[in-house]
Every structure is written in structure tokens, then in C-alpha cells.
Amino acid sequence: MTWIPEAASNLASKVDGVLLVITLISIFFFVLITVVLIYFAVKYRRKSEDEETPYITGSEPLEIIWTVIPSILLILLFVYAFVVYKDMRTPPKDAVDITVTGKQWLWTFEYYNGKKTLNELYVQQNRPVRMVMKADDVLHSFFVPAFRVKQDLIPGRYTQLWFTPTKIGTFDLFCAEYCGTGHSAMLGKVVVLSPEAYDIWQNGVATDGGAVASLPPAELGEKVYKEKGCNACHSVDGSVVIGPSFKGLYGKEGKLEDGSSYTADENYIRKSILEPQEEMVEGFQPVMPSFKGILGDDEITAIIAYIKTLK
């Protein structure tokens, strides 16, 4: 089936099954009703000016049939879908917990092993995962089409979701709840690794899951800029989205919210990434999260190198 996304979790085939059954029943009745409708319209059309319509009061057997059969069908559909739903809502006991936080406009993941990643969720093939979800500001929705799972993240409470990834690969993660200006840029990836690759990832030192290749600093910076969600708030063409544009930023001087002045040198940019609320540039809102523990030192250096190329 190519008209729906790839099925890459244990739940996918179950959800597809429900969808298929509902669709087939709908198609069956659509065709049946349409054919009968056209047939009757032709057969019982008014054939002459003075033809009178027969007076029909109703048919009890007919009414019983068209009430009882659809009722049975609906109950069966409900039971079938409910069994699948219950399965989707009940994580197995051996599932590992990963905490996901939605924030305007990025995803952060915290793992049972202390690791943290941004916009990239790393999971192991065939190991059930329970996502413990929370939102820092407004409603977001965690949606991985290939896994057939979707769940809202709600400020002030935890929600949960579980799945077992069955295919190795990289799958799209979307925010499926309108959450403000950067909603459409609130994108991520789910990376499913083999058990061996997952072990290597777990024991790796890179905070980004070891995905950073050895690129020249500015190119790595551009990659980090796109993959870690900087692009949701910082443009590279001079336009102001949520935060200051990166274009012409390096070496720029200006005023901070507290009236003092700043020069955007390496240390200022580094500090702005690690402690974004400390030295706010005048006219901007303190909405940026800290990237401490999320970006490694070499990634920050790379971003600075990238910013330097944006004159």
C-alpha cells in the first residue's frame, strides 16, 4: 500500500487494519446505495404527464432490516476498534521511558540513560518505548505517521504514548497541533537503530547522538542550525522571526533590555546559546530555551563559525 505512510511500528498494521475495514465497508455501502439509487431513478421515473405516484405507507420488515444490520455492524466495528485502541493505550511492562518535552518550537528528549537530544529521537528496533510527554508552554502534538501514533502534549500534566519500532531507519516527526508562529518548523526525526548501533549510540559521548560527521565548522554549523531547530526562530536572510536574524550578527553592536550594550562576539553568542535569558537584546521576548547539555562545545563553535559566514 503506497497511499499511506510506511508501516514501521507494531501498532501500524493494527491501525491500518481498522482503517481498511472501515474503508471497505464504506465503499461497499457507497457502491450498493449508488447503484440502487441510479437503478430506481431510471426504473421508476415518471413516464407520462398524468402518471400518479403510488401511495406507500412503509414496510416493517424493511425497517427492521435497515436498523438491525447497521447496528450490528457498528457494534462490531466499535469492539474491533476498541480492542486496538486499548492495545495502543496500554504500554507493556518492559517498555523503556523516554521523556519528551514540547516547547515553542522544538522537541527535547531525555533518555533513561541520562542522554538528551534535540529534535531527534533515538530508539532501538523491537524494544517497546513509552513516551512520557509534557509541554512547557502551549499544546503541541507528537505525531509519527510511520508509527501511526499521535498524542497531545499538555502544559501542566503528563500524557503518554507507546510503540515498538520495527524497522530500522529515519522517520518524520511532526507537531500536529497549531502552536504559534513556528509550528510548521517544529519538525523532528525518529531514528530507529539496531540493538548494536543503539549500544554504540548509548555509550557515545556526543550529545547529538553521534550523528555529527566531521564537516568543516561552518558547514557543521549550518547543519546544526537546521537540525537543532535554530531555524524556527532565527533567520539567515535578515528577517526577524522570533529572535534576531543570524545575518550580519557576528560583530554587531547594540543595546540589551537592561540598557547596557553588547557586542556579538564569540563569547556573547556562546552565552546567548547557553543562557539565553541572561543578556536579552532590546525588543525581543525571553522565549528561548537554554541549550546547555543539548549542544556540545564543538557544535556551538560550529554555529558561531556559521554565523560568521552570514555577512
List residues binding ligand CUA (CB under 6 A).
102, 105, 140, 175, 177-179, 183, 186
Q: Which three cell numbers stand for residue 111?
A: 533518555
Smallest distance from the beta carbon of 136 to ligand CUA, in angstroms? 11
Smallest distance from the beta carbon of 154 to ligand CUA, in angstroms? 12
| Distance from the Cα of residue 85 to its chain's centroid | 20
Q: Are 307 and 246 in contact (CB under 8 A)?
A: yes
Smallest distance from the beta carbon of 135 to ligand CUA, in angstroms? 8
Smallest distance from the beta carbon of 84 to ligand CUA, in angstroms? 26
From CA 31, how far away is CA 146, in angstroms rounded? 30
Helix (H) or strand (E) holding 268: helix 266-274
From CA 29, how far away is CA 197, in angstroms rounded? 49
From CA 7, how far away is CA 14, in angstroms rounded? 10
The residue among 102 and 243 lying less far from ligand CUA, judged by its C-beta, is 102
Smallest distance from the beta carbon of 142 to ligand CUA, in angstroms? 9
The residue among 183 and 234 lying less far from ligand CUA, judged by its C-beta, is 183
> Residue written as cell 550580519?
248
Smallest distance from the beta carbon of 111 to ligand CUA, in angstroms? 21
Hey, how many other C-beta atoms are within 10 angstroms of the C-beta on 247?
Answer: 16
From CA 297, how far away is CA 224, in angstroms rounded? 12
The residue among 95 and 138 lying less far from ligand CUA, judged by its C-beta, is 138
Q: Are 278 and 271 in contact (CB under 8 A)?
A: yes
Smallest distance from the beta carbon of 162 to ligand CUA, in angstroms? 21
Long-range contacts of 254-261 (CB under 8 A, 24+ apart): 254/281, 254/282, 255/281, 255/282, 256/280, 256/281, 256/282, 257/281, 257/282, 257/284
Q: Which amino acid is at 46?
A: R
The residue among 102 and 165 lying less far from ligand CUA, judged by its C-beta, is 102
